[in-house]
Amino acid sequence: MEQTAVEIKQGAQTREPMLRVHQLVKRFGGLTAVNKVDFEVYPGEVVGLVGDNAAGKSTLIKCISGVHQPDEGEIFFQGQRVRFSRPMEARDAHIETIYQDLALAGNLNVGANIFMGREPQKSYLGGLIKVLDEGFMLAESQKIMGRLGIHIPDFSQQIETLSGGQRQAVAIARAVYWKAQLMIMDEPTNNLGVVEQRQVLELVQELRQQNVPVILISHTLPDIFAVTDRIVVMHRGHKVTEKKTSETDSQEIVQYMVGALDDRRDSYL
Amino acid sequence: MAVQKQTADLAGLAILTKERQKQLALLLSRVWAWVFLATLVLFFVVSVRQTSGGAVNFLTVRNSQNILVAITPVFLLGLGQTFVIIAGGIDLSVGHMMSMASVVSALAIRGVYNEGAPLFISVVAGFLAAVCATAAVGMAHGTIIAKLKVPAFIVTLGGSFIMRGVALLLSDNTTVIGLPPGVRDYGNESLLYLIRGEGGGIYFLNRPEVSGALLRSMDRIFPYPVVLTAIAAAIGIFVLKKTAFGRYTYAIGGNREAALRAGIPVDRHVIKLYMLSAATAGIAGFLSTLRYTAGSAVIGEALLMSSIAAVIIGGVSLFGGAGSVTGTVIGALIIAVLTTGLVMLNVQAFWQFIVVGVVVILAVLIDQSRDLIMGRMESE
């Protein structure tokens, strides 16, 4: 039964990509940080984006999430051509980015963080007085955390008292709650303990179960191999290869990362 | 197997007690200000009675009302400041802002009254003039801070000097007098009057026509300025705790970048906060004008330090993100009780400053030691 479901999903992959980046170029002065990159993400797929420092992977995802505006090329999201001039526009289109610094307020509790900037309110006196609906926020955050299988001991506590992994989970839960159609995760397991790293990776798998595609950026190749379906390798602004995770190994990927292998060059030869 | 289980049990026990320690530290840091205030009152009740040979009582109705009247301006300056500091800012202009408002409202009351308006309308005009003038200046402060990215410390320091100058210019460097005599009642009369003994009683809103010994024994309970300040405090508590405005304030103080990314209109909110801070200082200036039937260009000068002290003793973190209006009420009460108590003990007035200074530093030390304890528990 499950086998067929997977097959159907893979069949769907050949049809319509969720995200399609076409010949994307981003320059900073004389430096070309991203150079004519093509790249697709399909529904329910986890794509690993790897490369050495300054390979251009952060710049690439910042173009997708609206932080940078590409100089050339096109981005299609859910079949529509998009141009984001600000990160908020990408978020409104349901592209959520989990940053390394998490973008959470440590002095607020789980519910307040999940609903930050979009707080539900109850109206009194015909809308004259509006009060935060704490009950709704608590119930919804308990629901979403439960759905993702995350255990939080006390929802009323400020999240700075939670562990790094739990905070990471709150950030992910927030994105899922607000109907993320594409999740970009930049080094999500950095600064986490071993157990917490595993929890976050499980969460990535959970996102795939929920059919939310993920772009995962990481320096940690074992993480990449543990959860991704496909791996895209960048080197000095170029995409040097793209492999199915099941058809490659870390040794090969490392050779692409350091520039020893390059599909473009090899195809010229 | 058995050994394993035992160690697991032990670890569980350790976690439990650690959790309990943490809760205790948290509880203590939350209630210490209350405990401190209660201890302080108790100390003065006992020591004032003892030093006066039982002749003077610290905890009388009159003295309690004096304390409330005394903290009114300190608290009002601290009220807006509480919001500003929770959001990670600071407003150094509130002292001179209050002076400016005092002068402006006195000029407005006098002007409108001399145009033939009734007394009540004139007083309302004075209120509106004070609040509008200060809110406008607050808007300028906030705009320069939020949009032009000049540090709040600098902007409000400069603003403080400017307000001082404006207040002195508007008042022509003298006290603004010539206000209608009825203004005095607004600033000094009260909700309740209490006269004890023969021919006495409790009077609501209407001051009894008495004289001599009866007048001297009459206590004014909840003077109008205290009532207005209490309403402001209640609104402040409600807004900070229960509304999106309050939530934004905490979010910006907790992680400004996160607030921005979450779509909170950070700049606009910061501008509103400085308007709020200026306006509560404006109300304080207006009330001082009513109380003294005069506008003074120097009335708020000495109050800036006390108001920030009240905010900090009340547990608002200068780093932003933490604090409450209730805390600031307690902070202001602690300062007022200290000041009044020391006077009643016949301690030379200058000692007040020293004691308040020590308490401010102590308050922050207690806050930090809590974070230290919590942090150590986390890392263990």
List the domain boundaries for chain A.
Answer: 2-104+164-268
Instruction: Read off the pLDDT band of A101 (50, 70, 90).
Output: low
A19-28, A101-110, A192-201: which has the minimum mean pLDDT?
A192-201
Provide the 3-class DSSP secondary structure of residue B323: coil
Q: Which of A103, A107, A116 sits opposite B321 (nearest CB)?
A: A107
Q: Which of A104, A106, A117 sits opposite B263 (nearest CB)?
A: A117
The pLDDT of residue B227 is: 95
Domain carrying residue B242: 32-372
Residues 6+ apart with CB under 8 A from A248: A231
B262 with A117: Cβ contact below 8 A = yes
Q: Tokens at residue A7, please?
A: 């097959």
**Residue that the structure tokens 């407003």 belong to:** B91
Instruction: Read off the pLDDT band of B89 (50, 70, 90).
Output: very high
Work out whether strand B190-195 and strand B201-204 pair parallel, antiparallel, or are unpaired: antiparallel
Looking at mean pLDDT, say which of A147-151, A192-196, B319-323, B375-379 comes out highest: B319-323
A193-197, B140-144, B180-184: which has the minimum mean pLDDT?
A193-197
B243 with A130: Cβ contact below 8 A = yes
Q: What average pLDDT does the structure give for chain B?
A: 89
Instruction: Read off the pLDDT band of A266 (50, 70, 90).
Output: low
Instruction: Read off the pLDDT band of A2 (50, 70, 90).
Output: very low
| Residues counted in chain A | 269
A106 with B254: Cβ contact below 8 A = yes
The residue in chain A having the minimum alpha-carbon distance to the alpha carbon of residue B23 is: A157
The pLDDT of residue B14 is: 55
> Is the predicted pLDDT of residue B330 greater than 70, yes or no?
yes
The residue in chain A having the minimum alpha-carbon distance to the alpha carbon of residue B319 is: A107
| Residue to substitute from A109, A116, A170, A196, interface B, most B β-carbons within 10 A | A116
A104 with B263: Cβ contact below 8 A = no
Can you list the alpha helix ranges (DSSP code H) found in A38-179? 57-64, 87-92, 110-114, 134-147, 164-177
Q: Which of A106, A116, A131 sits opposite B242 (nearest CB)?
A: A131
A161 with B250: Cβ contact below 8 A = no
The pLDDT of residue B281 is: 98
| Domain total of chain B | 1
B258 with A132: Cβ contact below 8 A = no
| Residue to substitute from B255, B316, B377, B380, interface A, most A β-carbons within 10 A | B255
Q: CATH fold of A2-104+164-268, please?
A: Rossmann fold (3.40.50)
| Residue to substitute from A65, A96, A102, A107, interface B, most B β-carbons within 10 A | A107
Distance from CA of A3 to the nearest CA of B (A): 39
The pLDDT of residue A103 is: 81
A118 with B262: Cβ contact below 8 A = yes
> Is the predicted pLDDT of residue A4 greater than 70, yes or no?
no
Residues 6+ apart with CB under 8 A from A255: A261
- C-alpha separations of B122 from B100, B186, B296 in Å: 18, 12, 18
A204-218, B11-25, B125-139, B310-324: which has the minimum mean pLDDT?
B11-25
**Residue that the structure tokens 């159609």 belong to:** A181
Q: pLDDT of A141-184, one tens digit each? A: 999 988 888 888 889 889 988 888 888 889 888 888 888 899 99
Instruction: Read off the pLDDT band of A3 (50, 70, 90).
Output: very low
- Which one-letter DSSP state was computed for residue B351? H
Instruction: Read off the pLDDT band of A7 (50, 70, 90).
Output: very low
The pLDDT of residue A9 is: 46
The pLDDT of residue B377 is: 55
The pLDDT of residue A6 is: 45
CA–CA gap between residue B149 and residue A142 (Å, rounded): 39
B257 with A161: Cβ contact below 8 A = no
Instruction: Read off the pLDDT band of B332 (50, 70, 90).
Output: very high
> Is the predicted pLDDT of residue B380 greater than 50, yes or no?
no
A2-6, A130-134, A251-255: which has the minimum mean pLDDT?
A2-6
CA–CA gap between residue A170 and residue B191 (Å, rounded): 51
A88 with B247: Cβ contact below 8 A = no
Per CB distance under 8 Å, which residues of A are interface residues toward B? 87-88, 91, 99, 101-108, 112, 116-119, 121, 130-132, 161
Distance from CA of A131 to the nearest CA of B (A): 5
Examine residue B61 and state whether it is found in any structural domain, yes or no. Answer: yes
The pLDDT of residue A100 is: 65
Contacts of A106 in chain B (CB under 8 A): 254-255, 321
CA–CA gap between residue B164 and residue B96 (Å, rounded): 5
B251 with A102: Cβ contact below 8 A = no
- Which one-letter DSSP state was computed for residue A159? G
Phi-psi region of A228 (alpha: psi -120 to 50; beta: other; left: phi over 0): beta
Mean pLDDT value of segment A115-128:
90
Q: For chain A, how are helix, strand and coil distributed in percent, rounded to 5?
A: 40, 25, 35
The pLDDT of residue A208 is: 87
Mean pLDDT value of segment B226-236:
96
Contacts of B259 in chain A (CB under 8 A): 105, 116-117
Q: Tokens at residue B33, please?
A: 């200000």
Mean pLDDT value of segment B241-252:
97
Phi then psi for A96, rounded to 5 degrees? -110, 135
The residue in chain A having the minimum alpha-carbon distance to the alpha carbon of residue B251 is: A105
B378 with A161: Cβ contact below 8 A = yes
The pLDDT of residue B135 is: 98
> Is the predicted pLDDT of residue B241 greater than 80, yes or no?
yes
Instruction: Read off the pLDDT band of B54 (50, 70, 90).
Output: confident
> Is the predicted pLDDT of residue B167 greater than 80, yes or no?
yes
Examine residue B288 and state whether it is found in any structural domain, yes or no. Answer: yes
> Is the predicted pLDDT of residue A15 greater than 90, yes or no?
no
Work out whether strand A46-51 and strand A214-217 pair parallel, antiparallel, or are unpaired: parallel
Q: In what order do the strands lie in the sheet containing B190-195?
A: B201-204, B190-195, B219-223
Contacts of B235 in chain A (CB under 8 A): none
Contacts of A107 in chain B (CB under 8 A): 250, 253-255, 321-322
Instruction: Read off the pLDDT band of A5 (50, 70, 90).
Output: very low
Contacts of B322 in chain A (CB under 8 A): 107
Instruction: Read off the pLDDT band of B9 (50, 70, 90).
Output: low
Examine residue B136 and state whether it is found in any structural domain, yes or no. Answer: yes
The pLDDT of residue B4 is: 54
Give the DSSP letter string of A162-229. S-HHHHHHHHHHHHHHTT-SEEEEESTTTT--HHHHHHHHHHHHHHHHTT--EEEE-S-HHHHHHH-S
B247 with A119: Cβ contact below 8 A = yes
Distance from CA of A101 to the nearest CA of B (A): 9
CA–CA gap between residue A42 and residue A212 (Å, rounded): 9
| Residue to substitute from B20, B21, B242, B256, interface A, most A β-carbons within 10 A | B242
Examine residue B338 and state whether it is found in any structural domain, yes or no. Answer: yes
Q: pLDDT of A201-239, one tens digit each? A: 888 888 888 888 999 998 889 989 999 999 999 999 999
The pLDDT of residue A209 is: 85
CA–CA gap between residue B44 and residue B55 (Å, rounded): 14
| For chain B, percent of residues with pLDDT exceeding 90 | 62
The pLDDT of residue B150 is: 97
CA–CA gap between residue A22 and residue B117 (Å, rounded): 73
Distance from CA of B99 to the nearest CA of A (A): 32
Distance from CA of A34 to the nearest CA of B (A): 24
B244 with A130: Cβ contact below 8 A = yes
CA–CA gap between residue A182 and residue A47 (Å, rounded): 11
Q: What is the ipTM of this complex?
A: 0.83
The pLDDT of residue B375 is: 62
Distance from CA of A161 to the nearest CA of B (A): 8
CA–CA gap between residue B180 and residue B106 (Å, rounded): 10
Are A230 and A219 contacting, i.e. CB atoms less than 8 angstroms apart?
no
A103 with B253: Cβ contact below 8 A = no
Examine residue B110 and state whether it is found in any structural domain, yes or no. Answer: yes
Tally A–B CB contacts below 8 A. 66
> Is the predicted pLDDT of residue B3 greater than 70, yes or no?
no
Distance from CA of A265 to the nearest CA of B (A): 40
Distance from CA of A160 to the nearest CA of B (A): 10
A190-204, A241-255, B144-158, B182-196: which has the minimum mean pLDDT?
A190-204
B251 with A132: Cβ contact below 8 A = no
The pLDDT of residue B96 is: 97
Mean pLDDT value of segment B24-48:
86
B251 with A105: Cβ contact below 8 A = yes
Distance from CA of B360 to the nearest CA of A (A): 23
A106 with B262: Cβ contact below 8 A = no
A50-64, B2-16, B262-276: which has the minimum mean pLDDT?
B2-16
Examine residue B16 and state whether it is found in any structural domain, yes or no. Answer: no
The residue in chain B having the minimum alpha-carbon distance to the alpha carbon of residue A120 is: B244
The pLDDT of residue A38 is: 93
Mean pLDDT value of segment B164-173:
95
